[in-house]
Amino acid sequence: MRTKRDIVTEYLVLAAQAGGMQGEHAFGQIMRLWDRPLRAFVYRQTGRQDTGDDLLQEIWLAIAQGLTRLDDPTRFAPWAYRIARNRSIDAIRKQQHYRRVFSTRELTGQENGEAPRIGTGTAVVQESDDGRDRPEDDVRALLTRLPLDQRQLLTMHYLDEFSVRDMALILDIPEGTVKSRLFHTRQHVKKYIEKQQKEGLP
């Protein structure tokens, strides 16, 4: 089911590919339409807000440079999200390399009394005003405990609402593989939740 944004994006992509002043204006409109969703996607992929601005600039530059090679304007979204995912993975790998180079003490800033920094894979559960944990925070905490590939699958399917076909394009794998990975990820989450509930019983 194509949305109004999908139709407008298709027109803008065609205009941007034509080049010239109108093309530049069209690309600016594309950025206005998709910057917020891409930003949210990148945050969910990396689990870090401090990589957002620089990484988004890098992603939009890659989109601008490759837009003329996009053969099917109707596939702009999965194509752009695939670029965003690949750049997010690169950012995660750089962060992991940084952690290996520097000691945990240096990374957390504990030497000078700073509060520990929160990185990818750290579960953070905020409390509501009445002191109780909010359900959405429990979900976020659960996601951060999942392996990266499983977290990405769930966020793309349930939060970004991509179809299996679009996910296959983004991940560059067959649709059957997407379905299989989603099934196993759901089973993993189900077992994890059941275990937590069992351990939480008095």
The tens digit of pLDDT for each residue in 33-90 reads 999 999 888 888 776 665 667 899 999 999 999 999 999 999 999 999 999 989 988 8
For tokens 């594309």, what's the residue?
Answer: 30
Tokens of 3: 């949305």
Is pLDDT above 50 for 132?
no
Return the SS3 of 127.
strand
Tokens of 170: 């983004």
Q: What angle do CA 105, 143, 118 make, to 5 degrees?
A: 20
- Please give the radius of gyration of the chain, using alpha carbons only, rounded to the nearest integer: 20
Q: Which residue has the higher pLDDT, 91 or 115?
A: 91
Tokens of 122: 């750290």
Is pLDDT above 80 for 28?
yes
Tell me yes or no: is domain 129-202 CATH 1.10.287.70. no
Q: Residue 121 and residue 145: Cα distance in Å, rounded?
A: 6
Q: Residue 48 and residue 91: Cα distance in Å, rounded?
A: 10
Tokens of 192: 């994890």
Q: Residue 79 and residue 96: Cα distance in Å, rounded?
A: 26
Is pLDDT above 70 for 105?
no
Cα end-to-end span (Å), the chain:
48
Q: Which residue has the higher pLDDT, 27 or 136?
A: 27
Tokens of 165: 């076909």
Tokens of 197: 């509930």
- Residue 9 and residue 79 in contact, taking contact as beta carbons nearer than 8 Å: no
For 163-173, the pLDDT digits (tens) are 899 899 888 89
CATH number given to 1-106: 1.10.1740.10
Q: What residues contact 70, with CB distance under 8 A and at least 6 apart?
A: 13, 17, 76, 79
Residue 202's pLDDT is 46
Tokens of 123: 């579960």
Is pLDDT above 90 for 16?
yes
